[in-house]
Amino acid sequence: MTSSLFRVCARFMATASTSVETTMSYPFSKTALIPPMPVGEFSPGLIQGKGLMQHLRKTLFTPEKHQMIQTLFSRRSPKQLVPGSIVTVISDQAPTLFTGVLIAIRRRGPDTSIRVRNILQRTGVEMQFFVNSPTLKEIKLLKTPSKGRMRRAKLYYLRDAPDKMSSLAGSKSLN
């Protein structure tokens, strides 16, 4: 009885794995998330480790993430995020939607993160989102700063100046 059940399970797992081209099956869990193996030919120099960081910079991110990073965080992009703009972050985890003022952009390649501040229920809340996280779906720009550019890269002074923050916000009602 149990042996026939095992055989059925093995057959199911085998068919599931053969339908995907570059993922291997993990025999100990059906629900494990297995990232796809890197596709492509690797030069012998790369296998040794030469030019590894450059290769990783191109291939570590999914193409959608790479696109997002290029448009929003590259310093030459016309649509780059500027501190002081109002931004909505859409993510998989709670909170799924977080709107607020962008007070800091930390550019560190794969560790790039943004800090968004908002005042909810009379309490200030700040969240730091890492851009390359798979749970971060989208960063939507709602409003650029009214005078074009803030005179600071990091707007931590807004923590002590709620009036300046509300003037940045304009007449928005963030929830």
Partner 1 sequence: MIGLKSTLNCIDNSGALVVECVNVLKNKVNNGWGSVGDEIVVVVQRARPISAASQASVNAVKVRRGDVRRAVIVRTRKQVRRPDGTFVRFDDNAAVLLNNKKEMLGTRIGGIVSADLRLKGWGKIVSLAPRVV
Contact status: 138 vs partner 1 (CB under 8 A):
no
Residue 103 neighbours by CB under 8 Å, 6+ apart: 83, 84, 115, 116, 117, 126, 154, 155, 156, 158
Contact status: 151 vs partner 1 (CB under 8 A):
no
Question: What is the chain's alpha carbon radius of gyration, rounded to the nearest angstrom?
Answer: 22
Contact status: 94 vs partner 1 (CB under 8 A):
yes
Sole window of 28-36, 64-72, 121-129, 164-172 interacting with partner 1 (rule: CB under 8 A)? 121-129
Contact status: 98 vs partner 1 (CB under 8 A):
yes
Question: For residue 32, what are its two tokens?
Answer: 């494990």
> Whose Cβ is closer to partner 1: residue 70's or residue 113's?
113
Contact status: 129 vs partner 1 (CB under 8 A):
yes
The CA-atom distances, in angstroms, between 54 and each of 57, 132, 140 are 5, 17, 29
The residues of the shown chain that bind partner 1, judged by CB under 8 A, are: 91-95, 98, 120-130, 133, 135, 159
